[in-house]
Structure 1
Amino acid sequence: MNAFSRYAPFIQDYIYESGWHSLRGVQNAAADAIFHTDDNVLLTASTASGKTEAAFFPILTLLDEDPSRSVGVLYIAPLKALINDQFGRLNELCDRAGIRVSRWHGDVAQSQKRRLLRKPSGVLQITPESLESLMINKHMEIPSLFGDLRFVVIDEIHSLLRGDRGLQTFCLIQRLCALAGCSPRRIGLSATIGDPRLAGKFLSAGSGRGCVIPSFEAGREVWRLSMEHFFNDGPQADAGKLKAGVPVLAQNEAATDHAPAQADPGLGYIFEHTRGRKCLVFTNSREECESVCQYLRQYCEQRKEPDRFLIHHGNLSVSYRQSAEEEMKDDDSLMSVCATSTLELGIDIGRLERAFQIDAPFTVSGFLQRMGRTGRRGEPSQMWFVMREDRPESRAMLPEIMPWYLVQGIALIQLYVEDRFVEPPRMDRLPYSLLYHQTMSTLASCGEMTPAELASRVLPLACFHRITQEDYRILLRHLIEIDHIAQTENGGLIVGLTGERITNSYKFYAVFQENVEYAVRSESEELGTICKPPPVGDKIAIAGRVWLVEEVDHRKREVYCRHVKGHIPAYFGDCAGDIHTRILERMYKVLGEQTHYPYLMKHAAARLEEARENFRKSGMLQHPLVHLGGNMWVLFPWLGSYAFLALERFLKIRCGQRLGLKGLSPTRPYYITFTISVSEAEFYEITAEEARKEFDPLELVYPGEVPVFEKYDEYVPEELVKKGFALGVLDLAGMKERVLSWQTVYGKNSAGYLEENSRRMLKKDADTNQSNDVCANGGSR
């Protein structure tokens, strides 16, 4: 279709004034789907491809032609920073037609919220947590706010596909529609969807509509990738090795030309290659983010250079985060930002030249999102991986000498390049923690309800399709017993006194796990929050600097401090990784094949060759179970996080006695060490026999254990917590399939595993090296 001619005049004017010569494929395809169908729409296209405009140009055209009597478009985004970024862009566009754009989150002034409540219209941008707050605290306003809602736009939908937060978001959409009496279409936006069909099913669940996934010519992706490896001390992996008969390095190489002489080699490399450029430096935790920023700032100080590093993560104050965001949007700025996933999603941060990634992210999705922060001004996306590792001790056992992060990083890249794999939605969980949360939220917002009425509001929500009425009765009885719910004289249910203390807290709106946090202040400056404050006189790390604690107010949960020099580790609470089985399987293939990856730099290539040599010599190629000496063995199952967790428990609980298993020690999800009193062949036979037996998954819960896994599990009956963990978290099917494959090939002969498993896991595509649009650092093809 001719999308441009169908757009409203104010949008046509905007396109002309922006200097666009033509519409992109995603914009034409989205216009066709939105204008000519009544279905939900999932738009998947690369970062900076114009997805936001592709969705909003036709949506705003329809809104301009037939104005809504309430908020017409609800835009849900996972981050406040993303909302703030999109607010300016949408405002500029909508102002031309008099369509109001409003924001609603914790940093928005109450006066702006009151203005929307008085006259609801236009576009409302909100986070899932603020939508939860709105449903509870402005319950009576929902019909007038959303009575004529036409569209719900969910940005970065991939970030909501695998956890409770995504399920919460779609619960809220369903509840809002039921309360307001509206039936809006859903528009999902993402650059990193692996299986669009499954994502479309997730997007449409409970909406009563189908889902259109437009196809279009996306153009050729070109990346600039590099991956380098550094030992934190001593010679690097290629030191002293021969190249054309000449040693590459006779002694330890200096970290860089410009970093201080004693700099950490990996961070010195980043320090040098961020100079004179605007870059992002991604880490996998807030603790590492603080540490890296401290070191890089110290290097600036030692070199007598101006500080050129900022920091951005979820525990920092609004002022620190916004300062970093504004600095990155300035095209003339040459500052770099150390960040976690808070800068991973959708924010337009200007002419960013490079993204650095320290160690491997957990997911293919995370890798793609982080790399997608670059390449937004017509340049190829550019990512530099920096893998850091302590040099293994001479007496270290086999699994400890493998460079797991290096191999994982390669696997992430190759999975996407070869198969376009991105982690799929998790759709078959038993989310009892969320069930508690939505039950309490529904009661807090609606007031007294009969048990049947409450069940009719909550159980039909799409994400609870596996939860039975009996499960729900067990939950309600338990909540009455612990006074989270109270029963009135006429049999109705209301929030109990104990429950009110939970639902009245702003922390109730979020379903992701939080730690007890203390606000950190220095004079009038708010720095952010930390966990476990140290005693007065100790030091803390936050905002990329070190501070001396002068006062701790435990009642108010406040820490007062002053800035000092130095370097110490930070702590913000634990962060678990969710690594898919496909990644572990591709790691096996990386170690077993001889493929040269063009993005590997010299240290990384040498370290990978060392790892491949150890892989071959140790027997890891042919055997998942490797003998370490005596009765000590190591098992390499090549399973993702949840199947690996199931395997640990299966070995101890179902097989432990028969195997004579002791001292099981997992390093998730890479390997498990233990001692056994049986042979290797007997290990495979016994584990396969046990895997074939029918057994209740609840048997994999340890005696006396209540495996609290999600935020509100502590308020859920123990029997449901155990059931949710055993049937909704542990991947028994994936674990059993792997165990049975071992016995199938080893029951015949020891070469069988190599023949069967290598054919499946080491299969090479003949054109892999020819088809990759990946180039080594600085090159192209």
Structure 2
Amino acid sequence: MILHPKVVELVRERGWRGLNEIQVEASEYIAKGYNVLIVAPTGYGKTEAAVLPIMSRILYEGAKPIAVVYVTPLRALINDITRRLREWGDRLGIVVARRHSDISKAEKKLRMKRVPHIIVITPEGLEIELDWAHKFRRFYRNVRWVVIDEVHDLVGTKRGAQLALLISRLRAFTGRDLQIVMLSATVGNPPAVARYFVGSSKRPLKIITSSARKPMEVTLRLVDEDWESMAKAVAELMEPPTIVFVNSRYFGERLREELERLGIRNVMVHHSSVSKELREESERLLKEGRVAGVIATKTLELGIDVGYVKKVVVMGSPAQVQTFLQRIGRSGHTMGEAMRGAVIVWHPVQLLEALALLHLAEQGVLEEPDTGYAPLDVVARMLVGSLLKSEPVRLEELYEIVRGSGPYSSMSREEFSRLVELLKRGRLLEVADGRVRAGPRFYTIWRFEHERRWGGHGFTEFFTFISSLPEFVVRTSDGREVGKLDAHYVFRYLRSDDVIRLAGRSWRVVRIDDRLYTVEVEEGGEGGEVPLWRGDTARRSGIVAKQMARLLEEVCRGALRVPFAEVLKAVADRYLSEVGAHPSASVVIRERVNGYTVYTLLADERVVEALGLMLLYRLSSEEGLGVEVKTSHVGLAVKTGHPDPLSMLLSLSRVELEELALESVKRSPYFRMKLRELAPSFGVRDDDEDLAVEALRQLQHEYYDFV
């Protein structure tokens, strides 16, 4: 029997008629010892598909704690997952514990006395456990299984690379070929994603997907570009309980304000700058059916338990198919039930993009993650962190750990040696007789909180790759946290007695403390200004841009009937009458508008950014400071004396273009920021040549596509 009799008994007690096809297949292959990637929509019981066969193996084989590391990308998911696993584990004698910064000291002490069989943790938490928790770390020698939830949110990112290295470290630490089980509702190129995390594992791999595709019922609504029209459309389309997804924190707060003007107050706001307590309150009220809906950014895209969601409303285009499916997939939480939603747009380009997303989603075409992204600062911190509470280690052992991870499997010995030399130069590593230990400079860069100097780096920051801009904490006079504000916004715009909107409410500013980075507020005040936050952007993917071009072509030929086709055809006809063509995958429209040469093109936004950057550098070098280049999601506008700057750029040879790309990135506003971001990880000054090479490589991955 694959499942242990005690597990089977619990399944029957729950009134289940049995396991579904995903759970049956997963149980079979997990029992056989395969590494497994399970891809299935929300509501298909992926968590149970992974955990029930593993719990059965724990019971059958008497596995010692810690037997399972259950990794989730969001700290907010830890409590939900822990609760779900304990519902099974408590009845089976399997101890489940959680690890995050908010748990009490009593709970931390308890796990030393009652070591858990399953620990639920984030990548950052696991890094701290292996690097710093020297007393508890010994229990990780017993690990046999690693479960990775919401795997699509990690793959191809620095946090994903960090986790891949941690799995390789665990493999070396335990001396076992750990069994890896990965879960996702949506992911492009599943085999590549699986290989990214299993690394050097010798186990066979099985990818499990549902044979039935979940039906999708999505409508489109085109409205006027004003807040009242948008809010009225939301009010008409909501069917409680509803999640309304927006692309920025500003948009969420502003939409909530407009709904309030329409007399709709039974809606809450959920985003990363709302305090944890208020986010949890909105999740609970939505789950209990006590609010009509919640306006959310990506904070509710992943599997936080908010109960049954009848409908999802998406404001504007989320720009990527995977994001679109994650959002729509929060509705229809049972097998066979349709995902129900609506997309509200207010511009023809948004309309075309939304149609492209719908078509790609229906065809099951998703963006493929960049599994080749291998940032060196992640390896640097792994090398240093693994030595903080350790005796000197042979360099060859560390190299094998790095090579054992998916993202760094092709790193040569020469590349590894150059990285070690860079860390030696930064005095973060010391090497003697082929053995390496942590260098003396670590604690001067990464300081404990009570030792921090102005502008220094906190010790806990070393373990995380979650980037964050400086923020002010907003609190009431009794210390209750409301949320966070961007420091740039506070310094530039905010004053005492101002009224702001945050967490869907109005707050009057009582005082601002720029030393402690706090803003004291009291509830109330008329109206209120919606704050601005940096970093709230979604970039259109290449496959969406290509699909937009195909759809526009078919609409123009009358070969495709889609909602609001007449709107798109009118735009295309205007281009045809004025310039003789419309934008497509192979056609760029050039126009002269108010002294600018304007190029309209349908492309990946990183391509547009790369073109804009190269044009700005080249033209500024020739003409001076009078040149202007502005980029957007539909193209770029150039103010220059050259009649056709893009043609000039494309006439350059490949070698000239490569040199231009390199020089232009060095003058990008992001270059200095990236140098400052990376320097602490290597311990060197931000003018180091090797650091500059890595900064350029990462910028080309994150912002610019020159290929």
Shorter-chain TM band: 0.7 to 0.9
Cα deviation for residue 23 of structure 1 reads: 2.6
- The counterpart of 1:281, out of the listed 244, 247, 265, is 244
CA distance, structure 1, for counterparts of residue 398 and residue 18 of structure 2: 52
The residue that corresponds to 2:582 in the other structure is 620
The one-letter amino acid of 1:49's match is Y
Cα deviation for residue 316 of structure 1 reads: 2.0
2:303 maps to 1:340? no
- Deviating more after overlay: 637-646 vs 309-318: 637-646
The residue that corresponds to 1:248 in the other structure is none
CA distance, structure 1, for counterparts of residue 532 and residue 646 of structure 2: 41
Cα deviation for residue 368 of structure 1 reads: 0.6
- The counterpart of 1:573, out of the listed 507, 525, 534, is 534
What SS does structure 1 have at the residue aligned with 2:223? strand
The residue that corresponds to 2:666 in the other structure is 702
Matches within 5 A, 1:108-127: 108-127=103-122
CA distance, structure 2, for counterparts of residue 662 and residue 415 of structure 1: 42
Q: Do the aligned partners of 2:221 and 2:343 also contact (CA within 8 Å) in 1?
A: yes
CA distance, structure 1, for counterparts of residue 602 and residue 384 of structure 2: 40
1:118 and 1:643, CA in 2 relative to 1: closer, same or farther beyond 3 A? Answer: farther
- Deviating more after overlay: 176-185 vs 88-97: 176-185
1:29 and 1:52, CA in 2 relative to 1: closer, same or farther beyond 3 A? Answer: same
Cα deviation for residue 122 of structure 1 reads: 1.7
What SS does structure 1 have at the residue aligned with 2:110? helix
Cα deviation for residue 694 of structure 1 reads: 7.9
The residue that corresponds to 1:530 in the other structure is 485
- The counterpart of 1:407, out of the listed 345, 352, 355, is 352
The residue that corresponds to 1:515 in the other structure is 469
1:584 and 1:7, CA in 2 relative to 1: closer, same or farther beyond 3 A? Answer: same
- The counterpart of 1:672, out of the listed 636, 649, 660, is 636
The residue that corresponds to 1:545 in the other structure is 505
CA distance, structure 2, for counterparts of residue 658 and residue 707 of structure 1: 23
Q: Do the aligned partners of 2:151 and 2:183 also contact (CA within 8 Å) in 1?
A: yes
Q: How many residues align?
A: 675
Q: Do the aligned partners of 1:267 and 1:296 also contact (CA within 8 Å) in 2?
A: yes
CA distance, structure 2, for counterparts of residue 704 and residue 736 of structure 1: 14
Q: Do the aligned partners of 2:149 and 2:182 also contact (CA within 8 Å) in 1?
A: yes
Q: Do the aligned partners of 1:133 and 1:509 also contact (CA within 8 Å) in 2?
A: yes
Cα deviation for residue 527 of structure 1 reads: 1.0
Q: Which runs of 5+ in 2 are unaligned?
A: 448-455
CA distance, structure 2, for counterparts of residue 440 and residue 529 of structure 1: 32
The residue that corresponds to 1:763 in the other structure is none
- Could you list the per-position Cα deviations for residues 676-729 of structure 1 after superposition, in whole angstroms to 9, with x for gaps in the alignment? 66776x965861542366845634433597354498324355434443354454
CA distance, structure 1, for counterparts of residue 256 and residue 380 of structure 2: 39
CA distance, structure 2, for counterparts of residue 611 and residue 518 of structure 1: 44
Percent of counterpart pairs with the same letter? 24
CA distance, structure 1, for counterparts of residue 80 and residue 398 of structure 2: 38
CA distance, structure 2, for counterparts of residue 569 and residue 385 of structure 1: 24
The one-letter amino acid of 1:52's match is T
1:57 and 1:710, CA in 2 relative to 1: closer, same or farther beyond 3 A? Answer: farther
What SS does structure 1 have at the residue aligned with 2:521? strand
2:339 maps to 1:381? yes
The residue that corresponds to 1:592 in the other structure is 553
1:125 and 1:692, CA in 2 relative to 1: closer, same or farther beyond 3 A? Answer: same
The residue that corresponds to 2:453 in the other structure is none
CA distance, structure 2, for counterparts of residue 56 and residue 166 of structure 1: 22
Matches within 5 A, 1:642-661: 642-652=606-616
1:283 and 1:598, CA in 2 relative to 1: closer, same or farther beyond 3 A? Answer: farther
What SS does structure 2 have at the residue aligned with 1:571? coil
The one-letter amino acid of 2:362's match is V
- Deviating more after overlay: 639-648 vs 692-701: 692-701
CA distance, structure 2, for counterparts of residue 345 and residue 590 of structure 1: 30
2:277 maps to 1:319? yes
2:305 maps to 1:309? no
CA distance, structure 1, for counterparts of residue 324 and residue 189 of structure 2: 17
Q: Do the aligned partners of 1:105 and 1:126 also contact (CA within 8 Å) in 2?
A: yes
Q: Do the aligned partners of 1:103 and 1:125 also contact (CA within 8 Å) in 2?
A: yes
What SS does structure 2 have at the residue aligned with 1:463? coil
CA distance, structure 1, for counterparts of residue 477 and residue 621 of structure 2: 61
Cα deviation for residue 659 of structure 1 reads: 11
Q: Do the aligned partners of 1:660 and 1:676 also contact (CA within 8 Å) in 2?
A: no
Matches within 5 A, 1:359-370: 359-370=316-327
Cα deviation for residue 41 of structure 1 reads: 0.6
- The counterpart of 2:378, out of the listed 434, 437, 460, is 434
CA distance, structure 2, for counterparts of residue 644 and residue 445 of structure 1: 46
The one-letter amino acid of 2:230's match is G
Matches within 5 A, 1:216-227: 217=211, 219-227=212-220
CA distance, structure 2, for counterparts of residue 209 and residue 665 of structure 1: 52
- Could you list the per-position Cα deviations for residues 37-79 of structure 1 after superposition, in whole angstroms to 9, with x for gaps in the alignment? x331111112211211111121111111112212111111111
1:161 and 1:542, CA in 2 relative to 1: closer, same or farther beyond 3 A? Answer: same
The one-letter amino acid of 1:166's match is G
The residue that corresponds to 1:272 in the other structure is 236
- The counterpart of 1:167, out of the listed 145, 161, 172, is 161
Matches within 5 A, 1:487-526: 493-496=438-441, 497-501=443-447, 504-524=458-478, 525-526=480-481
The residue that corresponds to 1:723 in the other structure is 693
Matches within 5 A, 1:79-94: 79-94=74-89
The residue that corresponds to 1:78 in the other structure is 73
- The counterpart of 1:712, out of the listed 660, 668, 677, is 677
Matches within 5 A, 1:8-47: 8-36=4-32, 38-47=33-42
Cα deviation for residue 96 of structure 1 reads: 1.7
The residue that corresponds to 2:191 in the other structure is 197
The one-letter amino acid of 1:269's match is A
- Could you list the per-position Cα deviations for residues 499-554 of structure 1 after superposition, in whole angstroms to 9, with x for gaps in the alignment? 23267533333202101122211133221222223232223332111211112223
Cα deviation for residue 442 of structure 1 reads: 2.8
CA distance, structure 1, for counterparts of residue 45 and residue 560 of structure 2: 31
CA distance, structure 1, for counterparts of residue 22 and residue 312 of structure 2: 25
Normalising by structure 2, we get a TM-score of: 0.86
- Deviating more after overlay: 149-158 vs 701-710: 701-710
- The counterpart of 1:156, out of the listed 142, 150, 154, is 150
- Could you list the per-position Cα deviations for residues 379-431 of structure 1 after superposition, in whole angstroms to 9, with x for gaps in the alignment? 31111111235xxxxxxxxxxxxx3322222222212223x221212122341
1:558 and 1:136, CA in 2 relative to 1: closer, same or farther beyond 3 A? Answer: farther
What SS does structure 1 have at the residue aligned with 2:444? helix
CA distance, structure 2, for counterparts of residue 25 and residue 699 of structure 1: 54
Q: Do the aligned partners of 1:223 and 1:380 also contact (CA within 8 Å) in 2?
A: yes
CA distance, structure 2, for counterparts of residue 656 and residue 555 of structure 1: 40
Q: Which has the higher contact order (CA 8 A, sep 6+)?
A: 1
Q: Do the aligned partners of 1:43 and 1:213 also contact (CA within 8 Å) in 2?
A: yes
Cα deviation for residue 454 of structure 1 reads: 6.2
Q: Do the aligned partners of 1:29 and 1:215 also contact (CA within 8 Å) in 2?
A: no
1:439 and 1:183, CA in 2 relative to 1: closer, same or farther beyond 3 A? Answer: same
Cα deviation for residue 359 of structure 1 reads: 0.8
Q: Do the aligned partners of 2:199 and 2:409 also contact (CA within 8 Å) in 1?
A: no
The one-letter amino acid of 2:246's match is T
The one-letter amino acid of 1:719's match is E
The residue that corresponds to 1:260 in the other structure is none
Normalising by structure 1, we get a TM-score of: 0.78
The one-letter amino acid of 1:64's match is L
CA distance, structure 2, for counterparts of residue 503 and residue 660 of structure 1: 39
Matches within 5 A, 1:745-760: none
What SS does structure 1 have at the residue aligned with 2:208? coil
The one-letter amino acid of 1:152's match is V
- Could you list the per-position Cα deviations for residues 287-332 of structure 1 after superposition, in whole angstroms to 9, with x for gaps in the alignment? 22222223223432xxxx6x311121122222111111112222x4
The one-letter amino acid of 1:227's match is L
The residue that corresponds to 1:353 in the other structure is 310
CA distance, structure 2, for counterparts of residue 711 and residue 50 of structure 1: 44
